[in-house]
Structure 1
Amino acid sequence: MNIPRPRKIVLLIALVATLALLCCGGSISAVLLGGLTDENNNLNAALGCGKGGPVDPDSKLPRIRPYGATQIRNAAIIINVGADQKLPPRAWVIAVATAMQESRLTNLGNLGARNDHDSLGLFQQRPSSGWGTPEQIRDPVYASTKFYEKLKTIEGWENLPLTNAAQRVQISAYPDAYAKHEPLATQIVNMLADGAANAVGSSLEMVCASAGQIAASGWTIPVKDVVGSAFRTVSRPSHQGVDLSSGRYTPIAAAASGIVSMVKCDEDRRGRLSCNVDGYPGKGGCGWMVEIHHAGDVMTRYCHMIQRPFVREGQEVTAGDVIGRVGSSGNSSGPHLHFEVHLNNDRSSAGAVDPVRFMREQGAPLGGEG
């Protein structure tokens, strides 16, 4: 494999964002927003949508907690192999997350009694299962190539939840274990490939994801309309989300893959379940609403739907799936989608973060933001 020459990584030292994190965040954290640091411990974000290409694994690489220099170099190799194979950056995120689960990005040799059968290398591939010889599997370039070759054989892998795509390659005894690594894998790809997780397309034709497209991060916007009322304004300090000014019956998309954790008619201040009619300011309640639990313990909430949502609790959804339609039920002055993002799967106001900032960092900026 020909490793590309060093390319410039675009870094933004986001002092304002850091202050916002400290005042609004509680345990928001290390994985989603504070896990990436340079040598001066500054918060950084790669914003180039992949245009600068992957960084050379042999160049000076950023520090990314909790991994060491050798582990980050292995992540860079995984990304470069995916780029050489002309795969879209979504594949790079899947591969990095898989290696995080299988080996903590460490090129493992034979662990003796602690070995999982004859599993070796970054992806714990087994010679006895036909992945290659022990020497081949412990070559990070070879192992990454074999992972991507198997991924490409899975029909529709691009649209599968990350944990499902990884499991179909790995056939693990712990099929749900990959999901927890998706947020940090996304950030690693952004840091090592100039913001590629915010992009769509192959390594040859990569562009920033536009409204309605699913970025390599696995996130998309719920509706295409502009932000009306913002998060925790002076006039509405308890407004825990944003209002997206959408027309009645506009389809609402799941912002990312996940499991539907709540579907209900949210009662108003009088304890009534009256969601099949338009609401009004001061009525109280979210009306018809849905909550979805995503990888990394992120929860999204969608309120004021016009009718019973199209999904049920416990259902697995994929980014972009239509979960309901915009309405004006509950505490509402007119048709719109009230959209919230919560970290640590905390449904309370303590877990809420600004959806505008969060979605921009996932490469899926809400309407009116770019």
Structure 2
Amino acid sequence: MTQTEELDTAVRRRRPRTVVLLTALTASLALLCCAGGTAAFFLDGLSNDDQVLSTYGCGEAGPLPANGEMPKVAGYSEAQMRNAATIINVGAQLKVPPKGWVIAIATAIQESSLTNLGDLGARNDHDSQGLFQQRPSQGWGTPKQVRDPVYASRKFYQKLVKIPGWEKMALTDAAQEVQRSAFPDAYAKHEPDAAEIVNLLADGAGRASATKATLSCAAMGDVAASGWTAPVKDGVVSGFRTAERPDHQGVDLGASRGDDILAAADGTVIVSRCDNDSSPPYRCDRDGSPSTPGCGWYVDIMHAGKVMTRYCHMLYRPKVHVGQTVVAGQPIGIVGTSGHSSGPHLHFEVHLNGDRSSSGATNPLPFMRDKGAPLGTGA
């Protein structure tokens, strides 16, 4: 039996499933996988409906069979989605975590538009063929083998998992280590589509942990397939722009004094300072209070796509400096209560379009949920 036949036999044994929006009941059940929280509250409680943590699945249902009903993604045909399903199924068979599936699909989008290309003759790039444009002359297999989506996917994953630290690499770097393309930065632009395809075909697995072989929601320190992680493990205790605090441009996470604060994604530090040093007698070398102005010790990080994150009320001087490149999950400071604070916690903000002002602030809860790193997924 060929590899293709083995996979087809395996997926036929699986019960077909379609991806649907969660009802209130299933969302509540999903919280058993992903949700966490604390009983403490700072300054005000949650009052907006959109403060409720929800999830779209953690990958527990596994990938759809390649011959099952295909969800639709704008710009991709049924045949392209079936090829994507094959890539995911092979990754699941090999126990490659979901981040690998996203990398593989983004690579195939760049190389072939998820189309199983044969020999293109004069238009061919050397002797490249198949979903990943693998070259028989470079040892990838025979022309017939590299045009087999199952074989091609397996060869891609086998090379990917041999790269030291691939799980923590940026997608484009990991793909380039496998492909050795003349255009090493070309893969990054396909990451959003690849993550969406994985989410639809694999019950939200694109939002699942990228650092574990088993599918689970990203917990503290785990980096989701999107490249994001929760900055602390504790849940939201004060919401974004609530009725009581309409000018609250972030969320307060009820972490404990001395807990590590992690960078939520790869990026560059653009601010690392005390917000109060210019306004004596308020300084950051002491605990703050509700009457103390500012963020205290805080850090701003600029990420890809002009997304900025802010981390306030640190206990000591931040561990990072302006201009430093950080990676998702890297400790950048310690939870404290400097600045405008009534107790130890992390004030966490997300800003879009590179706008550090209140105009650029967006609710971190849905933003982080959609990145697969929902706030409150304690260890």
- 1:263 is matched with which residue: 264, 268, 271? 271
1:222 is displaced (CA, Å) by: 1.0
Question: What's 1:11 paired with?
Answer: 20
Conserved 8 A contact 1:197-1:217: yes
Conserved 8 A contact 1:180-1:295: no
- The whole-number CA distance in structure 2 between the counterparts of 1:213 and 1:290 is 21
Q: Once the two structures are superposed, what CA deviation does each residue of 1:266-290 show, in whole Å capped at 9, x if it has no partner?
A: 6459677944444444544333322
- 1:285 is matched with which residue: 275, 294, 297? 294
Q: Once the two structures are superposed, what CA deviation does each residue of 1:186-244 show, in whole Å capped at 9, x if it has no partner?
A: 22211101122333489984333444433444432211223121011112222221011
Question: What's 2:144 paired with?
Answer: 135
Q: Is there any run of 5+ residues in structure 2 with no aligned partner, and where?
A: 25-53
Residue 89 (str. 1) matches residue 115 (str. 2): no
The residue type paired with residue 65 of structure 2 is D
Identity %: 59
1:13 is displaced (CA, Å) by: 6.2
Q: Is there any run of 5+ residues in structure 1 with no aligned partner, and where?
A: 16-44
Residue 98 (str. 1) matches residue 111 (str. 2): no
Q: 1:13 to 1:133 in 2, by over 3 A?
A: same
Residue 241 (str. 1) matches residue 233 (str. 2): no
- The whole-number CA distance in structure 2 between the counterparts of 1:177 and 1:14 is 38
Conserved 8 A contact 2:263-2:332: yes
Residue 63 (str. 1) matches residue 75 (str. 2): no
- The whole-number CA distance in structure 1 between the counterparts of 2:133 and 2:353 is 29
Question: What's 1:363 paired with?
Answer: 372
Question: What's 1:39 paired with?
Answer: none
Q: 1:202 to 1:231 in 2, by over 3 A?
A: closer
Residue 80 (str. 1) matches residue 89 (str. 2): yes
- The whole-number CA distance in structure 1 between the counterparts of 2:302 and 2:110 is 20
Larger Rg: 2
**TM-score under structure 1 length normalisation:** 0.79
Structure with larger RCO (C-alpha < 8 A, sep 6+): 2
Residue 334 (str. 1) matches residue 343 (str. 2): yes
Residue 220 (str. 1) matches residue 226 (str. 2): no
Q: 1:147 to 1:296 in 2, by over 3 A?
A: farther
The residue type paired with residue 58 of structure 2 is C
- The whole-number CA distance in structure 2 between the counterparts of 1:69 and 1:293 is 37
- The whole-number CA distance in structure 2 between the counterparts of 1:203 and 1:265 is 35
The residue type paired with residue 268 of structure 2 is V
1:138 is displaced (CA, Å) by: 2.8
- The whole-number CA distance in structure 2 between the counterparts of 1:162 and 1:303 is 29
Q: Once the two structures are superposed, what CA deviation does each residue of 1:99-138 show, in whole Å capped at 9, x if it has no partner?
A: 2333332334455666544433322323332222333323
CA RMSD of aligned residues (A): 3.3
- The whole-number CA distance in structure 2 between the counterparts of 1:304 and 1:115 is 57
- The whole-number CA distance in structure 1 between the counterparts of 2:352 and 2:123 is 35
Conserved 8 A contact 1:210-1:364: yes
1:88 is displaced (CA, Å) by: 1.8
- In structure 2, the residue corresponding to 1:12 is in which secondary structure? coil
